[in-house]
Structure 1
Amino acid sequence: MTTLPDKLHPQRVQRRTLAVLSLAQIIGGVGVAVGVAFSALVVAELSGSAVISGYAGTSMVLGAALMALPIARAADRWGRRAALSLAYAGAAVGAVISVLGITIANWPVLLFGFLLLGGGSAGNLAARYSATDLSPPGHTARHLSLVVWMTTIGSVTGPNLAGPADRLGQDLGLAETAGPFALSALAFVLALVIIQAALRPDPLLLARRLDGAAPGASARRFNLRESWQVLRSSPAAMRALVAIAVSQTAMVSIMSMTPVHLNHGGASLEIIGLTLSLHIAGMYVLSPVVGKLADKAGTVPVLVLGMVILLAAAVLAATAGHGTVQIAVALVLLGLGWSCGLVAGSALLTESVPVERRPSVQGFSDLLMNVCGAGGTVLAGFIVGWLSYGVLGAAVGVLVTLTGLWLLTTRHRTTPTPA
């Protein structure tokens, strides 16, 4: 163990790190929420096609997936501050390009902007891992969940600021609907400034120093094959990876098709919006409770609990027909099950690999998570288009049931390897 000055005491640095990450998460969450809320609408207006409007969400998810590995490599070589700065800088550029696309009424340019805007989501995901580098034993999930919870504030605030931002943008000479994306750019720039100015010392670099890593060890690059080998060598990490991917797939699949299903059943836009708001609340509001439970009861039991909750959500969705109340309950449970999978899975993954390998493995996990999210959206569209929303719920139910049984039958092999 390396002896450090009192100002670099891990507990003191960790408190500061959590405060800085929480503030950046709130502001970055505003930028992401504005883009998610209005991207499809703006693309539909410019392209005149409902089909093309669906590419807006796909572009953002794909962008988050593509940014996962560059963010991980930046963290591996230069620390968390450089990685998060890269994510927020890319998102800010994407928001500016989006404003340009709206101004010149060119939807392909707008979609390219959304691709880079996905870096904001990737940055918010990466921030949760930054909260764990200096976590004391037994607090990993709790600290991670605190940063995840902060997303709630930005997610709720962002869409409500879009209207005033649009009016202010038009007063300043911007095109109609460009104002919200200008706000998004401003939010990401502010998050970037906060990370650059206040995330000091870098938590990952300090954790490596405490771990006795040799100078220059952080400069080594890890590729996908090496990350996969690290995961294969740790059964606990592999189970965390699968749980995170399945939770994301189950959540995105049902959530993405719920507005369409409710609309076909004659639900108003207000009902659809309220249902999605309740879903977001389920995702984030109870994450600190989930984190505390994972630290106290263990990450694997919480992962199994998450699969049970996702199964209940899938059953309710599959049997709801067009009943809005039952679907709303299903969406709340869907968000809560996802929270269990993300918080407990991310904590287990972090605890299961050595500190010098964490950025590459965490980046691999976020890459897989976003790819599964994009794939789940596409498959869900086909299932609902060819069969029904009920069949989609049943398919998700089978997926999470098999995953839960697998976690239960292999839990004796999920003890994290010492990091």
Structure 2
Amino acid sequence: MTSAVAAHSAVQARTIRLLMVVEVVSGLGVAMGISVGALLTRAMAGTALSGVAQSAAVVGGGVLAVPAATLMSRYGRRPGLALCYLTGAVGGVAVLASAALDSIPLLFVGFFLFGAGSTAKLQSRYAATDLAEPQRRGRQLSLVVWSTTFGAVIGPNLAAPLGGSLSRFGIPELAGPFAFASASFLLSALLLTLFLRPDPLLLAQTAAGVRTPADQTTATAGAALPAGAPVSGGAAAGGVAAAAGQGAADRVAGGGPAERHTLGSAARAVLASPAARLGMTAMALGHLVMVAVMAMTPVHIGETHSAPDTLRIVGFVLSVHVAGMYGLSPVVGWLTDRVGRVPVILGGVALLIAACALAATAGHDTALLTVALLTLGLGWSGTMVAGSTLFTESLPAAVKPRAQGLSDLVTGLSGASAGVLSGIVVELAGYPVLALLAALTTIPLIALALRPATLAAVKVAD
């Protein structure tokens, strides 16, 4: 192994380790918010609006992904990710205050800002691919996704004891977990600010011939990399010549200086690539199905249990669900690299449909609901890991950060629409009908994945 390749590998390995630690910490906060958000909203605003809490968080995360991506495209992953976590921490405090003040508008504002924490977690998976070798891109992305498991599985089970610990201060039990969620986001922002150096996105952009306002910072931070170190954020792992070639290709494909690119140019780049369109659709519709069923499961469970029992049961069920989302993601990433992006996406869709069928027929059987939510998480993992990998490798390096922000915006809005409508559907028709409708939304994704033009484009990209 040459010194250049060794330096490249060292930077990538250090980046992956840091991202994994941050995912564990922030996963606690996101999972606690998910586990009690719908219950807190139902207690304050009623069942019909219980899905709005999740939707507000998802919309907030999606909307905030755009300025975060713009910031990252100019100055790197570090400031963008840290800002998202800080915003999420402010949102958690706002949710806490809304419960203390019994203010429904403040509750939804708080959830909107809280969603920025999820945005940071989602954008971290892209940071894992900035310097990844193409043949290992799916696995390295999945490692960061997988590390969320530890915090996310523990988080829902901590909601009840942590919520009760603040009751002596007049904080409702369902709101208390948000204080601890905010603390986890603050710690995540601090870790990234201190240790995400050199910045992987800036190094990848430099290797691809993309100049940014932070180039001078990159040159300084990247001093640890020898001249000619191969960086595969769009460049093959062959050295400076391959990087320069990719930079030229990026400019031909609409690349050039990153600061010239807008959300519109990112959208045009996505629309011009069948593979990128499939990747974005897989992420968006997979997330829509997951949010629709997951958001209303705590409410469905709460229909036949007391509040303390509901918290304990929901904590267990959602822990299993989150384990399904993240626990096997390294296997999903390995399959994505070995079997292919499209087969894994279709496998994820099959699991999502099976999960909806189980949820629709489970009634109030906790064991069956748990299996349904586990399967739902596995299906989401397939569409998210394979979809993210396909999406990020199908775009020019110069436009990639803003396109990634756009993809998270679209994914967020898809989940948000599911969250808003899920509460209304459950109120009017019940939880089984919601599960059936969620399954039907996968039909467009199946059709797109099996289109000959899409399959040909993906084969060429591979």
TM-score after normalising by structure 1 = 0.89
Shift of 1:72: 0.9
Alignment partner, residue 9 of structure 1: 7
Structure 2 residue 290 is matched with structure 1 residue 251? yes
Q: Please state whether the residue corresponding to 1:135 is helix, strand or coil.
A: coil
User: 2:99 matched to 1:56?
Assistant: no
Q: 2: distance between equivalents of 1:317 and 1:237?
A: 31
CA contact (8 A) 1:67 1:122 kept: yes
Q: Partners in 1 of 2:317 and 2:448 — Cα distance?
A: 31
Distance 2:157 2:9 in 1: 36
Provide closer, same or farther for how the CA distance between residues 108 and 391 of structure 1 changes in structure 2, counting only shifts above 3 A.
closer
* Equivalent in 77, 81, 89 of residue 84 of structure 1: 81
Instruction: Please tell me whether residue 352 in structure 1 is matched to residue 394 in structure 2.
Output: yes
1:279 to 311, 321, 325: 321
Query: Structure 1 residues 383, 94: CA separation in 2 closer, same or farther (over 3 Å shift)?
Result: closer
User: What amino acid is the match of 1:379?
Assistant: L
Equivalent in the alignment of 2:455? 412
Determine the C-alpha separation between the residues in 1 that align with 2:303 and 2:39: 18
Partner of 2:21: 23
Q: What is the aligned counterpart of 2:66 among 43, 56, 69?
A: 69
CA distance in 2, matches of 1:418, 1:397: 30
User: Residues of 2 paired with 1:412 and 1:162: CA distance?
Assistant: 44
Are residues 1:377 and 2:407 paired?
no
1:142–1:292 Cα contact (<8 Å) kept: yes
Name the residue aligned to 1:95. 92
CA-to-aligned-CA distance 1:28-62 (integer Å, 9 cap, x gap) = 112222322333444555x4644455433232122
Whole-Å Cα distance in 1 between the matches of residues 3 and 197 of structure 2? Answer: 14
Q: Secondary structure at the match of 2:153?
A: helix
| TM-score using structure 2 length | 0.81
Distance in 1 between residues matched to 2:142 and 2:433, nearest whole Å: 33
Contact 2:329/2:381 (<8 A) preserved: yes
Which secondary structure state, in structure 2, belongs to the residue aligned with residue 139 of structure 1?
helix
Match of 1:318 among 338, 360, 379: 360
| C-alpha RMSD of matched pairs (Å) | 2.9
Residue deviations 1:217-266 (CA, integer Å, cap 9, x gap): 66515433222210111110001111111111111122223334444567
CA apart distance, 1:327: 3.2
State the match for 2:245 in structure 1: none
Distance apart, 1:99 and its partner CA: 3.7
Give the equivalent residue in structure 1 for 2:406: 364
Distance 1:272 1:99, change over 3 A: closer
Structure 2 residue runs without a partner (length 5+): 214-255
Pick one of 137, 145, 150 that aligns with 1:140: 137
Q: Relative to structure 2, which stretch is displaced further, 153-162 or 115-124?
A: 153-162
Distance 2:187 2:71 in 1: 20
What is the identity, as a one-letter code, of the residue corresponding to 2:455?
A: H
Residues 152 and 285 in structure 1, CA contact (< 8 A), matched pair in contact too: yes
Count, aligned residues: 414
Assess, with a 3 A threshold, how the Cα gap between structure 1 residues 53 and 378 changes in structure 2: closer, same or farther: closer
Separation in 2, partners of 1:415, 1:102: 49
CA–CA separation in structure 2 for the residues paired with 1:44 and 1:384: 13
> Is 1:335 aligned with 2:377?
yes
Q: 1:295 maps to what in 2?
A: 337
Match of 1:228 in 2: 267
The SS at the match of 1:355 is: coil
**Structure 1 spans left out of the alignment, 5+ residues:** none
SS at match of 1:415: helix
Select the residue among 387, 391, 400 that pairs with 2:429.
387
Structure 1 pair 364–201 and aligned structure 2 pair: CA distance change class (3 A):
same
Q: CA deviation at 1:324?
A: 3.9
Q: Distance in 2 between matches of 1:8 and 1:92?
A: 37
Could you say which residue in structure 1 is the equivalent of 2:205? 208
Q: Secondary structure at the match of 1:300?
A: helix
Distance 1:418 1:207, change over 3 A: farther
User: 1:337 is matched by which residue type in structure 2?
Assistant: G
Contact 2:341 2:387 in 1 (8 A): yes
> Per-residue CA shift, 1:277-319, capped at 9, x if unaligned?
3222211111111001101111111111111222222233334
Task: Provide the rounded CA distance (Å) in 1 between the counterparts of 2:284 and 2:190.
Answer: 31
